[in-house]
Amino acid sequence: MATMNPKVSIKAQSPEKVPYMAPSHSGVAAGALSAAGMSSRVSRRVDVSPEHLQPLPDDVEAGSTSGAQIEGEVGTLMVGVKLQMSEVLIAWLAVIVMTLSAILSLLGTLILSYFNQQISVSIGMTDAQYGMLTGYAYYLLFSIAMTAQGYCIDRYSLNRVYVVGFGGLLGGAALLIQGFATSFTMMLIGMVLSAVGGSVFAILPIPILSDILPPEQLSFAGAIFSCAAYLAEALAGNLAFVCDKRGISWRWAVVSLGIGCVAAALATFAFIREPPVGRFIVKKEGKDKPQKSDFTIKQTVTYMASMSSMWILTIATGLRLLPLDLSGAYMPSYYSALYPSQTTVFTAMASIVGICGLLASFIYGAVCQRFYVRLPTISLYTTAIGAIIASGFVSMTVCSRAIAGGDQDKGYGIALTGMSLAVLIGEGWQGPLTVMLTLALPPDIKSFAISLWSGLTQLIGPATSVLFGIYLTIGGWKKGTPEYIRPARIFMLAAMLGSYLSAAALYISAIGAVKRDIAKREALARTGGPAQITLSPRRKMAFIVGSTVLVVAVAVLIIMSFFFSYDPDIVMHPRIG
């Protein structure tokens, strides 16, 4: 085994390697072309602290860094890479374009929660049908599409930027279908297509950015990208308010968003170019790029099943998504019923989620970026602590009117205060957490592995939305009525508190497991070849049992959703006109 030495020599790729730059027809790329002519050959002695330096069997070779200067490494990841100014501009342009595309895609889904009563009346839709639209009709296809795209990208080396662009085009077409829908079935078709198109923005931009930006800058970039959800929420509520005040139909709002998605997709094609995979991975001498094994589904699934943290992070993140999905689908109608005399419910909620979520993303991103080199699992600590604190403020928000003794004005103030603190402290976690997991995976399987993991978590996330819709339908409680408030409060309080606290406990328990998985990825990179993994009978049985339980639970919820959605005796919002 090589001796650990604080002095190592890092050799860059040969001059023949084409540096990464944006398409030549973009304005920013013009500067990149003139700046990229310098040789990509780099030779320098590097001082890194012994506690961070990982021994390598031979001299190592850096990935394609386009003439950037290299300062050192953490494990097998290059850190301190000094990019050229043109590369910096191109990288952050990619962050902005993909964030904008994700905002428009998310808006198309979120806007339904603000217009759900108008849509229900317009096309004759029940609460169970709405729960199905915002639950598994969307997220099941979302998960399947996300997993399929990850597999195809790694198996066939597809251009990831093109996949993102085509997903945006499909999502735009889906919104046009929904905008002109005349029945629940047509709305369902549009939602299915929207799920397929929108799935590209869930995870795929993070692996792309991990090959554009150095590892120590990725947490902040991931946090910016995760802001898309909060900005979309802010825009959705204010858009709904403007449409309501100006008498603009929900249909035109959805159609306009579809056109915006198409425009953003075209910008993706125009301004972003596919970066080399594993660009910041340190690799063995003589390899032009990281060792790539013969990719198979079995290989990736076996690797994930061998990970100590796989099921812990899957369940924890799925539980953490439960309150988000429930809030997005039902909170607007809940607060409208809770405070009928308040005319600013939509705009206040949207602005709080947008502004506080944006601040939370920057705070989480900055903290995780600051401490990542010393503590790669920092996002687990921040996510768990944030969830524990936020659970108290969420309870205060849901029970605000009861706390105020029925006083609507006082209760409304308590609700907005609690919501602001809950979002500021409890959100912003998704980007840094996804970045941590992405960097813990081998580069040749990371697109499929991260998509598969995220797909599994998305199967858990919609459960409360589906169950809440069935719960309301069985109880005969119509959204927006006074009778709806108490049962809705009980369900939301139990679901959200349980989700926050159990997810936090699991994240804390996953710290040691994630460290072992990071060490496994580093060992794989040092050997320069595919991992030879044999699952123990116990681990294999745990994977089979866990997968079976998850599939059966989701199947039961889907069957229940279909039953309550298409039972002709349960139409709570008869169509008018």
Residue with the bigger pLDDT between 16 and 527: it is: 527
Q: 159-197 as b/e, with b when 16 or more CB fall inside 10 Å?
A: ebbebbbbbbbbbbbbbbbbbebeebeebbbbbbbbbbb
Q: 244-282 as b/e, with b when 16 or more CB fall inside 10 Å?
A: eeeeeebbebbbbbbebbbebbebbbebbbbbbbbbbbb
Pairing of strands 77-79, 72-74: antiparallel
Tabulate helix, strand, coil % of the chain (nearest 5): 70, 5, 25
Mean pLDDT lowest among 269-273, 323-327, 393-397, 473-477: 473-477
In this structure, which topology does domain 87-566 adopt according to CATH?
Growth Hormone; Chain: A; (1.20.1250)
φ, ψ at 20 (rounded to 5°)? -75, 130
Contact by Cβ (8 Å): 64, 19:
yes
Q: How many helices (H) and strands (E) does the chain have?
A: 22, 6
Pairing of strands 60-61, 7-11: parallel
pLDDT tens per residue, range 373-392: 888 899 999 999 999 999 99
Question: The pTM is what?
Answer: 0.67
Give DSSP secondary structure letters for 105-137: HHHHHHHHHHSHHHHHHHHT--HHHHHHHTTHH
Q: How far is it, in rounded angstroms, from Cα 60 to Cα 282?
A: 6
Q: How far is it, in rounded angstroms, from Cα 570 to Cα 576?
A: 16
Residues forming beta bridges with residue 8, ordered by sequence position? 46
Contact by Cβ (8 Å): 169, 262:
yes
Contact by Cβ (8 Å): 96, 223:
no
pLDDT tens per residue, range 415-454: 999 999 999 999 888 888 888 888 888 877 877 888 888 8
Residues listed for the chain: 577
pLDDT tens per residue, range 1-40: 333 333 333 333 333 333 443 333 333 333 332 333 333 3
Around Cβ 362, how many Cβ atoms within 10 Å?
Answer: 15
Residue 14 parent element (H or E) = none
Q: What is the mean pLDDT of residues 190-200?
A: 89
Q: How far is it, in rounded angstroms, from Cα 96 to Cα 573?
A: 41
Q: CA torsion sign, 329 to 262 to 177 to 123?
A: positive
Q: Burial of 298 by CB count in 10 Å (0-12 exposed, 13-18 middle, 19+ buried)? A: exposed
User: Residue type at 327?
Assistant: S
Contact by Cβ (8 Å): 369, 220:
yes
pLDDT tens per residue, range 515-526: 998 888 887 777
Give DSSP secondary structure letters for 34-97: HHTTS----EEEEE--TTT----SS-EE----TT-B--EEETTEEES-B--HHHHHHHHHHHHH
Q: How far is it, in rounded angstroms, from Cα 57 to Cα 526?
A: 7
Residue with the bigger pLDDT between 50 and 400: it is: 400
pLDDT tens per residue, range 475-516: 888 777 788 888 989 999 999 999 999 999 999 999 999 999
**Domain extents for the chain?**
7-85, 87-566
